[in-house]
Structure 1
Amino acid sequence: MTGVALAEELLLLAYDDETGRATMPRISLDLGMAAAVLVELALAGRIAYADGSLVATDPTPLGEPIVDGVLGRIAADAPRSPSSWVQRLRHGLRDRILADLVDRGAVRDVEETELDFIVVHRYPAADPSVEEDTRGRLGAALADGHLPDERTAALATLVAVLRMEPALGLTGGDAVDARRRLEEIAGGAGFSGNVSLDDSVVRPSVGLVVAALAQAVDAALGPRP
C-alpha cells in the first residue's frame, strides 16, 4: 500500500489545521478509524463480506503495520459481523494513526496541561499539502456530476456516514447540498443499495464491504440530530 491511507485522510479532515483540535465527537472518529482501515483492506483485496461477516481472503501483508495488524486479527479470528469488528477495533486506533501522521510530518503533536494536571494533545497541521490533496479530490467529487474513482467514492461515503460536513467547512444550505451529493456518490457507487453492484464501476467485493460498514457505523452513531 502506498500514499495516504483512508483513515489518515479522515483524521486530517477531522482536525482543525490551526487549533489542532478535533471538530467531531470522539466516538465518531473512533468508529470512523475502524471502518476506514477495514475499507482499506477491502480496496487492497484482503477482506470480503460474506454471509453477514467480514472474512480474510488474502493474508498477505501490505507493508503498513496498523493495517496489517488488523488483517492478522481478522485472519486469525472466527468470522464476525462488520458491527462487531468496528467496535472491537476502534479503541486506541486513532492515537496510533495520529502518531503515524506525526512521524510522517503531516501534523505536529502539541502537548499542553490544562487545569494544572490534565495533559491534552493538539495536532495542528505541519504539512498542509497532504490534506490539500484529500480536500481537492473531495471538492471535485462534490462539484462534478460524475462518479469519482473507487477510492474517492469510498472516502466520500465514509465522510457522509460519519456526518463530517462541518469538517469540510460547510454549514447551512451548503452542508445540505454537500450531504445530498455525498449520498449520490455513495448510491451511484452501489454503497447504499441504490444501484446494483453489477452496474457500478466499483468492484462488487469492495461495494459489499463498504455498504455493510456504512450501515454498521450509522447504526452505532444513532439517529441524526
Structure 2
Amino acid sequence: MTSVPIAEELLLLVYDNESGKATGSRIGLDLGMAAAVLVELALAGRIAYADGNIVVADATPTGVPVADEVLAKIEANVPHTPAAWVQRLRHRLRERVLSDLISRGVIRDVDDVEQEFIHVHRYPSVDASVENETRARLAAALAGEGAPDERTAALATLIVAARMEAALGLSGEDAATAHQKLERIASGAGFSGGVDLEQSTVRPSVALVVIALGKAIQTALGTPRPVTH
C-alpha cells in the first residue's frame, strides 16, 4: 500500500485549502472515511466480504497504521456486517487522520476562539499536492478519459454513497451532472451492483466489499435528497 489512503483523500477534498473549513455533512464524511479504510484493506487483499460479513483474508500488516489497527480489530472480533463496522469505526477516525496529516505537514491546525470561549479548529493546506493529484484523477474520470483504476473508481463510489459531491466545488447543474457521472463510474466498475462482476473493470473480491459498504453508508444516511438539474 504505497498510494495515499482513500480516507485521507476524502478528508482533504472536504476541507477547503484556504479557509480550512469543512464542507458538506460531517456524518457523511465520517461514514465515508470508515468505509474507505475497509476499502483500502480490500484493495490490499487483506479483507473480503463473505456470508454477509467482513472477514480477514490475509492478516499481514499493510504498513499503514490506521488500516493495520482496523485489520487487527477485525481479526480479533467475531465477524460483523459492513454496516456494523462502518458504525464502529467512524467515531474519532476523522480526528486521527487529521492528526496524521498535521504531523506530516500536509495541513495545519488553526485554533480560533469564537464568542470568547468556543474553540473552532480549521485545517488549511500546507502541501496541497496530494489533494491536487486526487482532484486531477477525479476530473479525468469525470471527463471520461479512459476507465478509472480501482482506487479512483472506489473513491468516486464513496463520494456518491456519502453524498460528498459538494467537496468537488460544484453547484447547480454542474453538481447534478457530476453526480450522474460518478454514479456511472461506480456502476461501470461493478461497485453499485448494476454490472455482472465478471464484466467489472475491478477485481470481484474488491467489488463485493465496495458494494456492501456503499449500501451500508446509504442506509445509515437515510433517504437521499433528489439531485436536480
Unpaired runs of 5+ residues, structure 2, are none
**Aligned ranges 1:1-225 → 2 under 5 Å:** 1-144=1-144, 146-225=146-225
Distance in 2, matches of 1:200 and 1:161, equals 19
2:184 is matched by which residue type in structure 1? E
CA–CA separation in structure 1 for the residues paired with 2:128 and 2:94: 20
- C-alpha separation in 1, matches of 2:48 and 2:3: 22
Shift of 1:57: 0.8
Q: Write the distance in 1 (CA, Å) between the matches of 2:4 and 2:80.
A: 27
For residues 130-173 of structure 1, give each alpha carbon's deviation from its aligned partner in whole angstroms, at most 9, with x where no partner exists.
10000000000000164211111001101111112211011111
Q: Distance in 2 between matches of 1:150 and 1:186?
A: 10
TM-score, with structure 1 as normaliser = 0.97
Q: In structure 1, how many angstroms separate the alpha carbons of the residues matched to 2:91 and 2:110? A: 22
**C-alpha displacement at 1:6, in angstroms?**
0.2
Stretches of structure 1 that go unaligned for 5 or more consecutive residues are none
Report the number of matched residues: 225
Fraction of identical pairs, as percent = 63
Partner amino acid for 1:70?
Answer: V
Q: Residue type of the partner of 1:38?
A: L
Aligned-partner residue type, residue 35 of structure 1: A
CA-based RMSD = 1.0
Moved over 2 A (4+): none
- 1: CA distance between counterparts of 2:129 and 2:223? 35
Q: Give the 3-state SS of the residue equivalent to 1:179 in structure 2.
A: helix
Contact 2:112 2:121 in 1 (8 A): yes
Structure 2-normalised TM-score?
0.96
In the alignment, residue 163 of structure 1 is paired with which amino acid? R
> Residue type matched to 1:170 in 2?
L
Equivalent-residue separation in structure 2 for 1:155 and 1:25 (angstroms): 17
In the aligned structure 2, how far is the partner of 1:86 from the partner of 1:162? 12
